[in-house]
Amino acid sequence: MTFRLAHLSDPHVGPLGRVRLHQLIGKRATGYANWRRGRSRSHDMTVLEALVTDLKAQGAGHIACTGDLCNIGLPSEWETARTFLEALGSPEAVSFVPGNHDAYVRGSLEGLLAACGRYTGDDSGSWGRFPYLRRRGPLALVGLSSAIPTKPFVATGRLGAPQLAAAEALLRALATEPGRPFRVVMIHHPPQPGGASPGRELKDAAAFTAMIARAGADLILHGHNHVTSAARIPGPDGRAVPVVGAPSASARPHGHGAMASRRASYLLFEIDRSDQRVSVTARRRGLDASGAISDLGALDLDGSDLDASNLA
């Protein structure tokens, strides 16, 4: 049985709507200035539209979006974000977890979830609560939120002890199910220590990796760094868990996305389950050196064929 999962991140959907003076207080003021000075020229909505069109032609069984739909958390961005997700697919076909730009200031995340919460819908019927669980084919998707409001020039994230404890209980329970599902964890910030530079890191990354070492997972997806990356962290019994980061899905080819690993792209995972093994392969599709969207080749998961002797 083969299941195809698409992963994209950090679309930073624009342009910004009309900004009122009273909205530019605190961190939004510096964020808006940064947007006007150059950040807006780092993201291209034409590129994003073409990337989504290409993604939808690949026949993915599900799509994971790991945050930063917004730029500075304006109320006008919430409906723009919902429109983007609806273009990507239905709430049943797309799973979303928020990023730091989605929680830019206090109240931003709550506003976004009010507009887009169905894309965080748990199988129980609730939405906007983390962690959440969604079962799609052989996958069990566990959505986490590392999105918190921070001070200007800071882009850190945090899960918090209650969310970590709930995620551990959920992952442990999934591991004991007959015909154990393939557990995919979605988070915005790189979840391993050293995964992001100081001021941009997940504050409780050590606690997260310790939790995964106890409970296990089969694949961890994130965004935030605007670069394609692959790492591994220990799972139970020393088995490595792949940690894969996607670049910004709207990075301009000659600016923010000039480097090959930073060009706008998305990832396609082929999860093949047969007998006593599950094999996982990943490929990138996105902007090539000419600016066209094409297959950019396999992503090296460092031999991440997983021992699935207890998955049957």
Architecture of domain 1-304: 4-Layer Sandwich (3.60)
CA nearest neighbour of 92 among 71, 56, 68, 120: 120
* Contact (Cβ atoms closer than 8 angstroms) between residue 219 and residue 186: no
Query: Which is more confident, 252 or 222?
Result: 222
What is the predicted pLDDT for the residue at 42? 80
Task: Sort 21 into a burial class: Cβ within 10 Å, 0-12 / 13-18 / 19+.
Answer: exposed
pLDDT band at 1 (very low <50, low <70, confident <90, very high): confident
Whether a cis peptide bond, with omega within 30° of 0, leads into 131 is: yes
| Range name among 62-66, 82-86, 274-278 with the lowest pLDDT average | 274-278
pLDDT tens sequence across 148-171: 999 998 999 999 999 999 999 999
Query: Which is more confident, 277 or 270?
Result: 270
What is the predicted pLDDT for the residue at 261? 87
What is the predicted pLDDT for the residue at 32? 53
What is the predicted pLDDT for the residue at 304? 42
